[in-house]
A = this chain, B = another copy of it.
């Protein structure tokens, strides 16, 4: 049976400040938990309604459906909830293509972008401190396991970029078309906030302004969603390798 203090700890991990304080985050569902178990992430505790995971006994807590419902952040909880340790982020490998996010707020967007990094072989994702936490349960859910394979760092983005000696790509409506000239396999690509794009302090550091051209004839077309814009940019940088 779950103790009150266990329930309190697990539920507190829904909030960023408690995740940071305890250095822990939650993963839900068989598929997601299995991905993290098969990675370098360290399991802290597993709460499950079925013994289906290969995990040392002292970390397994068999619980009832009602108990799972109590600790889950999902409407429809799926079999198990695991607590993992938040790892230290590794150093950024700066001689490769890096993706940077300047204040991306939507958990679904960040999850999709982490999945895209995984797909396109981008090892380092660098996020501004105001970008949504990658250990937010909605982000973890949306990454479909990709979070185990992408090194996500939170940094003062202005400081970080200032110290780089590489091309700083920024996406803007008035940039040069990304379809125009060969793109390098080195540099950093910055994607901006959902509503406001790249912030002014970061814009000043951009050395190459790029844009995804609009093909629709009507100018009213809204800008692209940041996750789909990222998909198109990464595809365009990586296609050179084929």
Cβ-defined contact, A228 with B177, below 8 A:
no
How far is B108's CA from A47's CA once the two chains are assembled, in angstroms? 31
- A residues adjacent to B (C-beta < 8 A): 35, 108, 112, 115-116, 118-121, 144-146, 149, 177, 179-180, 212-218, 220-222, 224-225, 227-229, 231-232, 235-236, 238-239, 241-242
How far is B235's CA from A179's CA once the two chains are assembled, in angstroms? 9
Cβ-defined contact, A238 with B224, below 8 A:
no
Q: What residue in chain B is nearest A111 (Cβ atoms)?
A: B225
How far is B123's CA from A216's CA once the two chains are assembled, in angstroms? 9
Chain B residues lying within 8 Å of A242, measured Cβ to Cβ, are: 177, 179-180, 213
Q: What residue in chain B is nearest A241 (Cβ atoms)?
A: B215
Cβ-defined contact, A118 with B225, below 8 A:
no
Number of copies: 2
Q: What residue in chain B is nearest A149 (Cβ atoms)?
A: B218
- A101 vs chain B, min Cβ distance (A): 16
Using A119-B224, A221-B149 as known contacts, say yes or no to A215 and B238 having CB atoms under 8 A apart: yes
Chain B residues lying within 8 Å of A35, measured Cβ to Cβ, are: 220
Q: What residue in chain B is nearest A240 (Cβ atoms)?
A: B179
Q: What residue in chain B is nearest A237 (Cβ atoms)?
A: B215
Cβ-defined contact, B121 with A228, below 8 A:
no
Chain B residues lying within 8 Å of A218, measured Cβ to Cβ, are: 118, 149
10 intermolecular pairs with C-beta atoms under 8 Å apart? A112-B225, A115-B222, A118-B216, A119-B215, A119-B216, A120-B216, A177-B242, A227-B227, A228-B228, A231-B232
Closest 9 interchain pairs by CB?
A: A121-B215, A228-B231, A179-B242, A144-B222, A179-B239, A232-B235, A231-B231, A121-B216, A120-B215
Q: What residue in chain B is nearest A236 (Cβ atoms)?
A: B235
Chain B residues lying within 8 Å of A120, measured Cβ to Cβ, are: 215-216
How far is B224's CA from A89's CA once the two chains are assembled, in angstroms? 25
How far is B119's CA from A221's CA once the two chains are assembled, in angstroms? 6
How far is B240's CA from A239's CA once the two chains are assembled, in angstroms? 14
Chain B residues lying within 8 Å of A213, measured Cβ to Cβ, are: 242
Cβ contact of A224, chosen from B116, B215, B224, cutoff 8 A: B116
How far is B232's CA from A149's CA once the two chains are assembled, in angstroms? 22
Chain B residues lying within 8 Å of A177, measured Cβ to Cβ, are: 242
- A77 vs chain B, min Cβ distance (A): 19
